[in-house]
Amino acid sequence: MSARIVVSADGRKAFESWRQAFAAVAPDVDVCSWYDPAWQPQPGDYALIWKPRSEHMERLAQMKGIVCTGAGVDHLLAHTDFPRNIPLVRMGGGQTARLMADYVIWAVLGLLRGARTWAASQEQGVWYNNVCSRTSDTTRVGVMGLGHLGAYVAQALSRMGFCVSGWKRSPAELDGVTVWHGMDNLPSFLAEVDILVNLLPSTPATDGLIDYGLLSHLPKGAGFVNVGRGRHVVQDDLLRALDDGTLSGAVLDVVTPEPLPQDSALWHNPRLTITPHVASEASREAQARYAVDVVAMLERGETPALLCDVARGY
């Protein structure tokens, strides 16, 4: 591959680890650091980025394509001067999807069995037998957002034996998953969900969508897992739902803001488990392999599956 990959992701100090990752998976690929004073943009350059600074936008506009190391690109499109005419591809690949599925399965099983109570009992030195006779095959899990990650997660849950449904903006079919679509069908979807998983993309239409009104459509005592974006959820409404029993428990891998301040009420709710945005971050080698594959596709004139639709915001 004659194209060159220019790495800005994670800053100047991270380049050596990126260089080693590319050397391990694709030693023939030309890789250089965005921060190398000798680097000057060339017509065949592709950028690997995460959170570029405002002063990077002019050079990004000279790239042939851009690969983001995150599954979401809303933070990039928030820059008014981000080059929207350059192909932008979101992070994907088998390891990213498998990690997300593993995390969601862990979270759903924890909510199903009341694992938060076990952890609290151990911390307090209390032998409390919270028996749960509910099984996966009688538990209905609903996934909001059936994109690349959402579809993978929904089918992984289905293979685990859960009764899985999904909701998305437009009609679709997915093996092993009952698919609902459109805002008119959202209440009906929610009414048949014991544990709700959020994997929606971040757009103006989805920000703040998960409020008390939406959660109230779930059966009393449902569970909730958020691995989408923190701003999808009205956090005060989530706490209200946990406190009044609308929800029996929740697992959050994303919150707003991040890092979560020490004085946030979210830390102290006994029905809530918080993890620090760790659900699905593939290894350097897996991300490098994915970037190489994406660049090869673009060089062949093909369209990567996770090419960003700028109009939709994902």
Name the DSSP letter for residue 262. Answer: T
User: What is the domain extent for residue 32?
Assistant: 4-93+282-299
Find the CATH number of the domain harbouring 45: 3.40.50.720
Answer yes or no: do 236 and 220 share one domain: yes
The string of pLDDT tens digits covering residues 200-248 is: 999 999 999 999 999 999 999 999 999 999 999 999 999 999 999 999 9
Write down the pLDDT at residue 131: 87
Q: How many domains does the chain have?
A: 2
How confident is the prediction for the chain on average, in pLDDT? 96
Q: How many CB atoms lie within 10 A of CB 19?
A: 16
The answer to whether 300 is a known catalytic residue is no
116 found inside a domain: yes
Active-site annotation holder among 84, 113, 181, 277? 277
Q: What is the value of pTM for the model shown? A: 0.94
Let me know whether 122 and 246 are in one domain. yes
Residue 307 belongs to some domain of the structure: no
In a domain, 150, yes or no: yes
How far apart (Å, rounded) are the C-alpha atoms in residues 45 and 30?
A: 10
pLDDT tens for 154-206 read 999 999 999 999 999 999 999 999 999 999 999 999 999 999 999 999 999 99
Indicate if 194 and 211 belong to the same structural domain.
Answer: yes
Is 312 a domain residue?
A: no
* Euclidean distance between CA atoms 55 and 132, whole angstroms: 55
Active-site residue, 79 included: no
Catalytic residue among 4, 59, 116, 229: 229
Q: Confirm whether 12 is domain-assigned.
A: yes
Instruction: Collect all residues with Cβ–Cβ distance below 8 Å to 29 and sequence separation of at least 6.
Output: 1, 5, 22, 292
